Structure 1
């Protein structure tokens, strides 16, 4: 049996920071991602988790434009973006690998409705804004804005993933030889109540969901592909330097931004401690990152 790799694609890798939020731009980047994944799928059973920060933010903005109904909640918008991106990825992968079955699965993930992030939003969604525009939007819609590089961007609650409710379906599809697109946008956040499962107003971080999925599948490797070619120390300064090989203990010494590299680092540390091999690197270099020729590799050393 082939080894199993969980591949996490950042929402900003599929729609580059600063790009217009157009279908054409997303499709161009998804074609790049599909080519990288198709090469990996020759050697691994593959489960793909994708981000949705720019896309779910765009859907929220489009919701606001129609005044006759109240805006849809974030869990529903997350499901919409999961279907949209999953369809695009599945189609491009199928075109590249016509003999391989590709399945996109809407995935519910259980979270705690009282997670601390509900009071302290950290998950970036939507486009970036200059300070003047961000201030106007924040006041108009009661949004929370935080810095994203030199710009400002909306942030929403990001509860931690606790359990993948549709894990059995993912297992079944992988066993049948499918490439599986799942936990899209971090999965649809739901919580258990006396009336059954209910949606939660938030966007789960896809990197933490990918690490949870990799552990629950007992995958061999976790690969996080983003718009950065590695993990850097002192990013954005003259002293910036890439980390190529490291351990969970070494990487844990450093602090990374909560809204960007922080969850990726947390995810690879978590999975490496679990016993797997974890990687962070650029979308275009996927196979090289997985082979250790590019990006950052994190392996637990006893």
Structure 2
């Protein structure tokens, strides 16, 4: 069985959201225990991950140094965080596998995701990234060509395009590594946003790709049997925050679409995960799962989590 495990940002930071190097290493070490358990069960695992806090740290460095050196573009930030987090995750997974007496090679792949240069998102950037700045601080970044908006009392915030992911350009390399026996880490942060120019050459662009949609696209591209999105709750919930709240267990795609249309999933949290799972199930005819890391092994075998079936 081959699965794609998509790790949320909580798997890459401390419980309180801190992203110091020691916090990221500790979080990765805990997350890779679950992956090693899957490998021990004979599952072929491909891992993808969020990178929001890590890119946020790089953006702060950009802002502090903007008067001295030009800011690093967002596609470079994505590539840098894929490399750093890939290294951390490989080290943690190697240790977890060795502790179980398992010998499996690991690999981290810097991965590009193609988007359309004509995507409407580029015409009106709306995805907020990074921290709030004063008007004077934001003006320095605007002079470097960035788009910032006045958000009132909290200050100014940068907004960028979030185009639809169309193709994981390096998916064939992921497949080759998996078939060679590797546990692969790929497409972090939804992939490095890349466009194909008129002359067929490729170039990175200033944008961010939704990590859950990137995970769904990668899962289809490498033909996994199951997409598992790991978050900080065991299930998606109906009526979240109300006395009538209840966990969603096994459910059909049609039922999950219905719950989404009824407004049960918040846009900034569970909504994108449900959208990604539904896209994967609809387009692949296979199963999608939402659960937490501690329930991963049980969820893959159908005993835990929110499990979305095609029918």
2:85 maps to 1:85: yes
> Could you give the per-residue CA deviations for residues 257-282 of structure 1, whole angstroms, max 9, x where no partner exists?
33322221111111212211110111
Mark the CA change 1:164 to 1:22 in structure 2 (over 3 Å): closer, same or farther: same
Which residue matches 2:253?
Answer: 248
Q: TM-score, normalised by structure 2?
A: 0.84
2:189 maps to 1:185: yes
Which residue matches 1:55?
Answer: 54
Q: What is the CA distance between 1:116 and its match in structure 2?
A: 3.3
Do 1:110 and 1:189's aligned partners in 2 also have CA atoms closer than 8 Å? Answer: yes
Secondary structure of the corresponding residue to residue 97 of structure 1: helix
Distance (whole Å) between structure 1 residues aligned to residue 177 and residue 166 of structure 2: 22
> Could you give the per-residue CA deviations for residues 163-186 of structure 1, whole angstroms, max 9, x where no partner exists?
111111111101100000000111
2:278 to 252, 269, 291: 269
Which residue matches 2:144?
Answer: none
Distance (whole Å) between structure 1 residues aligned to residue 113 and residue 308 of structure 2: 26
Which residue matches 1:149?
Answer: none
Mark the CA change 1:182 to 1:260 in structure 2 (over 3 Å): closer, same or farther: same
1:166-177 aligned at under 5 Å gives the runs 166-177=170-181
How many residues align? The count is: 287
2:288 to 257, 278, 284: 278
1:113-128 aligned at under 5 Å gives the runs 113-118=117-122, 119-122=124-127, 125-126=129-130
Mark the CA change 1:179 to 1:165 in structure 2 (over 3 Å): closer, same or farther: same
Distance (whole Å) between structure 2 residues aligned to residue 231 and residue 145 of structure 1: 34
Q: What is the CA distance between 1:191 and its match in structure 2?
A: 0.3
Do 1:74 and 1:203's aligned partners in 2 also have CA atoms closer than 8 Å? Answer: yes
Q: What is the CA distance between 1:95 and its match in structure 2?
A: 1.4
Mark the CA change 1:116 to 1:11 in structure 2 (over 3 Å): closer, same or farther: farther
Q: What is the CA distance between 1:144 and its match in structure 2?
A: 5.3
Which residue matches 1:97?
Answer: 97
1:140-159 aligned at under 5 Å gives the runs 140=138, 143=148, 156-159=160-163
Q: What is the CA distance between 1:210 and its match in structure 2?
A: 1.5
Distance (whole Å) between structure 2 residues aligned to residue 143 and residue 257 of structure 1: 25
Do 2:12 and 2:19's aligned partners in 1 also have CA atoms closer than 8 Å? Answer: no
2:269 to 232, 236, 260: 260
* Higher CA-based Rg: 2
The runs of 5 or more residues in structure 1 that have no matched partner are 128-133, 147-151
Do 1:208 and 1:263's aligned partners in 2 also have CA atoms closer than 8 Å? Answer: yes
The runs of 5 or more residues in structure 2 that have no matched partner are 142-146
Distance (whole Å) between structure 2 residues aligned to residue 289 and residue 154 of structure 1: 38
Q: TM-score, normalised by structure 1?
A: 0.87
